[in-house]
Amino acid sequence: AQEPVAWVEEKFSLFPPALVQRNLSLEKILFVEGKKACAWAAHLLLRSQLFPFLVYHAAYGEEKELRRFQLLAEKSRTTVLLLGSKPLASWPIALSVEIRAQMAHVLRRR
């Protein structure tokens, strides 16, 4: 059985039929278009401990915000996938991957 997933974006950009084509059940995914409250929404979702996986594609402010995500994710036993365009070397993240031309390159592994 597929585990529930929370997907938080500032402005919704995902194309759900693409997920269905890959045999993913949309009934198990909570989509949140958070606008300027994405970080707040992600914090609430992590605190709920209902989602073993959270995808976050929005601004997150300072590195302190990332640290809060990390602590909440550890406490709730949630895997968080942060999607962004400019990784920072000091992120408190276990794995940082860059994808270009359909090739993945590991930038940092902790």
pLDDT higher than 80, residue 45? yes
Mind listing the pLDDT tens digit for each residue in 80-103?
Answer: 888 776 655 555 666 666 667 666
Cα–Cα nearest to 32, from 72, 96, 95, 48: 48
What pLDDT does 95 receive? 63
The DSSP code sequence of 41-62 is HHHHHHHHT--SEEEEES---S
